[in-house]
Amino acid sequence: MTRTGKTYLPAHYPDDVGEATTLITLTGSDRPGITAALFTLLAEDADVRVLDIEQVVIRGQLTLGTLISNPSNQVNLRKSLSDLATQKDVQITVSEGENDNVSTTEANHLFVTVLSAELKPAALARIAGHLAATGANIERIVRIAAYPITAIEFEITGAPIDLLQRTLSEEPRIQGVDIAVQRGGLSRRGKKLVVMDVDSTLIQNEVIELLAQEAGVFEQVRDITEQAMHGDLDFAESLTRRVALLKDLPVSSIGNVQKQIRLTPGARTLIRTLKRLDHQIGLVSGGFHEVIDPLAAELGIEFVAANRLEIVDGRLTGQLILPIIDRPGKARALEAFAEAAGVRLSQTVAIGDGANDLDMLAVAGLGVAFNAKQIVKDAADTSVSAPFLDGVLYLLGITREEVENADREGDRSVTV
């Protein structure tokens, strides 16, 4: 079935509020040459200036909008656009534009990123409704990832960031999605320091439990961990008691533990992509340097803060070398990393899953709760609930397509 090209023209143009403008919207099946043909046509009028333009293709369907200053001859414009619509088998709508007096720089825009393993229309309806209620105008909506999770990005203007954050704060819990509200501009694209927790974040394991299995004290260590999780022990005391149970474990067991470590899905993609973009990466852990340092070296991670096991004559003494990296210690480490990296705290990203990460998440410019309990999600700026660590990339405005294109190009300078 062949469609008939059509043009729809306004009855009049405004001449009483600044410069009169014309908005041309072209829709139809995408194919090479359509955009070039439209602007070749517009170029025939030397007085026409292009004031704004946007194009999107969804499943082969093109929508191209351009705002121009009014042409010198409206009749010629109508005739030329009608001929082009017929020739290219597209639809072209012409309407009155608005005076182009609003700044369109990204610095004045906010970005609302929505992540979900199963994105439902109801979630988007509520989010769009909340945006409207705050007076926000949606300038653009794009999908930045289709798998392993869906990521949608709204670019908006007209509402303050704190109001949007408050208004959308309950939607993740209600709709089962993750939402981040961030400013645009250079700060979003600038150099960042990304700092991650290790156990159950970068890796799927809990290192203290792997060591406990080697020492034959897994149940005792698990009991102490449960007490800490219920608030009966603070982290430092629980760690000290668990490490004491590892007394006399041979150093060779650490090598056995390292062989059992499994990275979280998406961890290598996250690190590889961040390094390609010249971001710096740090690890902050309540675990142990003896296990983490070789992993950090393999992945090319610049900064590491963790606890140290005391070792004498090739065996663990059951003691730690102070200071202990606890909840406040993780935040201090992030601050030290940022200073060493020459990165402002506002340009840091912290990723963690537990209560021990809360101070670090609060200090960072963007705190991300990864596969975390609700109390951590509530305290963080945003969350990634799907078990794929590279979902953090979408919060930074990096698309899945960009990641895959970079992988296909094969950056040989990155070995992770």
Distance CA 255, CA 41 (A): 70
Beta partners for residue 320, in sequence order: 309
C-alpha to C-alpha distance for 349 and 357, rounded to whole angstroms? 12
Element holding 197 (H helix, E strand): none
CA distance 392 to 381: 12
DSSP assignment string, 114-145: EEESS--HHHHHHHHHHHHHTT-EEEEEEEEE
Q: What angle do CA 186, 183, 115 make, to 5 degrees?
A: 115
Could you confirm whether 199 is annotated as catalytic?
yes
Q: Which of 197, 326, 357, 390 is catalytic?
A: 197
Q: What tokens does 73 get?
A: 């001859």
Q: How far apart are CA 365 and CA 188, in angstroms?
A: 11
Residues forming beta bridges with residue 7, ordered by sequence position? 92
Name 103's Cβ contacts closer than 8 Å, sequence gap at least 6: none
Can you tell me which residue has the tokens 């090739």?
314
Residue type at position 128: A
Peptide bond preceding 148 in cis form (omega within 30 of 0):
yes
Q: Please name the helix (run of DSSP H) or strand (run of DSSP E) that holds residue 209, with its range, or none.
A: helix 207-215
Residue type, 182: Q
How far from the centroid of its chain's Cα atoms is residue 275's Cα?
A: 15
To the query of whether residue 83 is one of the catalytic residues in this protein, the response is no
Catalytic residue among 47, 100, 178, 199: 199
Taking a C-beta distance cutoff of 8 angstroms, is the pair 201, 289 a contact?
no
Q: Token pair for residue 313?
A: 């004559």
Q: Are 348 and 364 in contact (CB under 8 A)?
A: yes
Residue 29 Cα to chain centre, angstroms:
31
Distances (CA, A) of 260 to 214, 220, 256: 11, 21, 7
Taking the C-alpha atoms of residue 63 and residue 97, their distance in angstroms, rounded to an integer, is 17
Please state, in angstroms and rounded to a whole number, the distance separating the CA atoms of residues 179 and 187. 19
CB contact at 8 A, 189 and 398? no
The catalytic residue positions are: 197, 199
